[in-house]
């Protein structure tokens, strides 16, 4: 697997998304690199560790929340929102 990018349609700046490229069968596919963006938002508070995650989904089977626990103690929740009529994440809020 090699690292590459996917170029977005022109908007006067030619933005690019970082992606990992691999071959599946005879097709080249790209996986968007998101882990580095989410790493900070998913880190446990000092002196805590994430031992369990619980997921909820909305009526459209889109990810709605991820709850992070240390044992039975809820550490924080990530809440996802999406652009209307699309399966593209709009916001991720930590609370």
Residues 8-38: tens digit of each pLDDT: 666 666 666 667 777 778 877 776 655 555 6
Q: Are residues 61 and 94 in the same domain?
A: yes
What does the pLDDT look like over 36-50, one tens digit per residue? Answer: 556 778 888 899 999
Q: Is 86 in a helix, a strand, or coil? A: coil
Tell whether 3 and 19 lie within a shared domain. yes
Q: Do 45 and 29 share a domain, yes or no?
A: no
Predicted pLDDT at 83? 81
The count of domains in the chain is: 2
Q: Which domain holds residue 20?
A: 1-33
What 29-36 contacts at long range (C-beta under 8 Å, 24+ apart), as own/partner pairs, is 30/4, 30/6, 32/6, 33/3
User: Torsions phi, psi of 78, nearest 5?
Assistant: -100, 130
Residues 44 and 85 in one domain: yes
Same-domain pairing of 45 and 91? yes
């Amino acid at each position: 697997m090699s690292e590459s990018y996917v170029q977005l349609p022109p908007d006067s700046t030619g933005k690019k998304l970082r992606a990992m490229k691999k071959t599946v069968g005879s097709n080249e596919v790209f996986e968007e690199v998101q882990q580095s963006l989410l790493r900070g938002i998913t880190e446990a508070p000092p002196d805590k560790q994430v031992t369990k995650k619980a997921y909820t989904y909305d009526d459209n089977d889109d990810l709605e929340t991820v709850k992070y626990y240390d044992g039975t103690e809820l550490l924080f929740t990530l809440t996802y929102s999406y652009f209307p009529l699309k399966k593209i994440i709009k916001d991720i809020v930590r609370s």
